[in-house]
Every structure is written in structure tokens, then in C-alpha cells.
Amino acid sequence: MGWFSRRQPEKATAPTAAAPASSTTGVDATGQVLASLREYVSRLSDGKLAVGAIDAKGHIFDCGYVDSFKSAELLNFVEKQFGVSIPEVELVGALCTLESIARHVAGKRG
């Protein structure tokens, strides 16, 4: 369970190191974006949510990773960091997981 949820979060485990990318293929680019997103969401929680505890396939609101205020900060980060603008409404639709956001960003960056 995530940081913004009403239930107590499970004990966070230590973050795991991501494997270095061997090339700039779409999969590697998505993995790099995903790693950045997970780190940023962890920072948004003020240290209450470890990077390794973030499920990339979990719904960002249902898992409690972000709330409405933090989602705006996340989208601002995506735009500044990757140059990709995402409408906030997309976070409750097609781009509701960090994995889907990472795929979208990697696809837009080419």
C-alpha cells in the first residue's frame, strides 16, 4: 500500500539497483524513464516510500503513490525532465501506472 493511502504501508524494503542500460532501445529507454519516475515518486513521499516498494504496474492513485496535488507535481517533473506534456486527465485513464507513463514518455521521445 502506498504513502497516501489510509491503510498503513507495509514495511518498505531497500531499493534495488537498476541494471545499466546496454543500448538505447525502446525497452531500455522505458526502463530508464521508469527508474526516474520511481525515484521521483519516492522523493514525493518524503522518504516514506522506498523506491523498491513502488509497483510500476500499480494504479498510482489506488496504490496511494500520489494524490491530486502530488500528481500535478509528477506531471510537472515529466515535462521538465523529459520534455513530454501529459494532460492530468490521462492519469485516471490510459496512463494510470508508472509503467504506462514510462512507455508513453519513451515513445514520445523517440
| HEC assignment per residue over 43-72 | HHCCCCCCHHHCCCCCECCCCCCCCHHHHH
Task: Please give the radius of gyration of the chain, using alpha carbons only, rounded to the nearest integer.
Answer: 13
Domain annotation covers residue 11? no
Domain CATH code at residue 35: 1.10.1200.10
Whole-number pLDDT of residue 25: 54
Q: What is the span of the domain harbouring residue 33?
A: 26-109
If you average pLDDT over residues 56-81, what whole number do you get? 96
Residue 12 belongs to a domain: no
pLDDT of residue 12: 44
- Domain total of the chain: 1
Question: Does residue 35 fall inside a structural domain?
Answer: yes
- List pLDDT tens digits, range 13-61: 444 444 433 344 566 999 999 999 999 999 999 888 999 999 999 999 9
